[in-house]
Amino acid sequence: MTIDETASIANSTLGEVEVREYVTVHDSELADGARVYERTSVKKSVFDGPTVVNANCYVENAKLGERVQVGPNASIVGVTHDLTDAGMEFGNDRFEEIVVEDGAFVGAGAVVLPGVTVGENAVVGAGTTVATDVPSECVVRAESNTRTREL
């Protein structure tokens, strides 16, 4: 296990992992082979490992399967709020877990929204915002906002 001295780990279970500079891991479980790169925040999440989360990412309320790769500056955010008066009250968050299945890839700068499942071996292209489930072995690209079966 390699954890940089600048990392902050709280209430978490870590296997044989690599955690680099200025990473925060809170209330999470990271299995053997997980690698979390610089300035990334992981909260209330489970990584099955081996999994790679690149620099400057934000991962909250998510389950990442084995062999998942997350590109730099991506956000996988499983917390939202209702668009009602009560939902808009400060601190009245609603959690909807995100699942990124085995072998999936989330590209640089992509955003995966609450409640979404990214299927096995699927690809979320760089810069894409994903608001609905992505089927297994499917590619989602930002420029066309379409899904194709290219894998």
Task: Decide: 26 and 10 in contact? Cβ < 8 Å.
Answer: yes
Whole-model pTM over 0.85: yes
3-state SS, residue 121 = coil
pLDDT at 14 over 80: yes
Tell me how far apart the alpha carbons of residues 151 and 148 are, in angstroms, rounded to a whole number.
9
Q: C-alpha angle 106/111/114, rounded to 5°?
A: 105
What are the chain's domains?
2-139 (2.160.10.10)
Q: For all residues of the chain together, what is the average pLDDT?
A: 91
Given 81, 127, 137, 141, the catalytic residue: 81
**Is 26 in the active site?**
no
pLDDT per position as a tens digit, 22-81 = 999 999 999 999 999 999 999 999 999 899 999 999 999 999 999 999 999 999 998 876
